[in-house]
Amino acid sequence: MRRLAVLGLDGTLTPDTLGGLLVRELMARGVCDGDVGREFLAAVDRHDSGGQDFFGAVSDVHRGWERLFAGVAVPSVERAAEDVWAQARGRLFGFVRPLLQRLEAEGFLVALVSGGPIEMVNLVAQDLGIDVYRGAQMSIQRNRYTGQLLQGPGRSGGKPGILHELVALHQASLERSFAMGNSLSDAEILALVGFPLAFEPSAELADLAVSRGWSRVDRHDVLHVLPVLLAGAQGGEGVPSS
């Protein structure tokens, strides 16, 4: 059976929250309402700061997406996303491309699964040569967004649902699959795979990693810990994040 390598995006492959950068660009272009945009960015800040109501903050972010995008022309968002990524791509962590090469050499099918907007996730995936990806997706009619969210991977249960879909689609083995992420929504995937890796985890995810014996890494040591993990030493802690 195939092996999946499921990677988060914001805070895992890049220090940026790409959806927030996209909204700032849309606001600067006058594409979306400024007040609604500021409310959305405040929700993103609450989400990024973590806390006990993590998934409540995710719901606030999704409601913000729905309000922001309702009635907006798709090409306006796509053009803004392209410009945002042209600037943000230079801030990808240096380990990302070597990590992808290592995973592919080990026979993994890499999948990018993010709670961020699919318009940004698509660009990142294309740039990195990743064929399998999922992100937050909005309904579209007549080339405009309706304001209805069709898929929200950041929701509780969202990423596990996608993981099971990918396992079935690609006839993959969960026990032989790998996942890396930094947030509580990623924890739902880490709990399901044989090779979990918490990357610069939030406080909540770090606590879970300790209690469940998941390896923890940061941007400096991930390429050193990964080979040990894939060799079967997933029960330990790896090199702690600084």
Residue for token pair 């990806």: 133
CATH of the domain at 71: 3.40.50.1000
pLDDT tens-digit map of 208-235: 999 999 999 999 999 999 999 998 744 4
**Confidence class of residue 63 from pLDDT cuts 50, 70 and 90?**
confident
Structural domain span for residue 72: 3-230
User: What 3-state DSSP class applies to 57?
Assistant: helix
Could you tell me the two tokens for 72?
Answer: 């907006």
> Is 72 within a domain?
yes
pLDDT digits (tens, 9 = 90+) for 143-175: 999 999 999 888 888 999 999 999 999 999 999
First-to-last alpha carbon distance for the chain, in angstroms, is: 36
Task: Give the pLDDT score at 138.
Answer: 94
Residue 8, domain member (yes or no): yes
Closest to 233 in 3D by CA, of 182, 199, 197, 207: 197
Q: Is residue 241 part of a domain?
A: no
Is position 152 within any domain?
yes
As a whole number, mean pLDDT of residues 115-131 equals 96
The per-residue pLDDT for 59 is: 79
Kindly state whether residue 239 falls inside one of the protein's structural domains: no
User: Per the domain annotation, does 175 fall within a domain?
Assistant: yes
- When divided into structural domains, the chain yields a total of 1
The sign of the CA dihedral 46, 51, 55, 56 is negative
Residue 196, in any domain of the structure: yes
What integer pLDDT is reported at residue 41 of this predicted model? 81
Residue 242 belongs to a domain: no
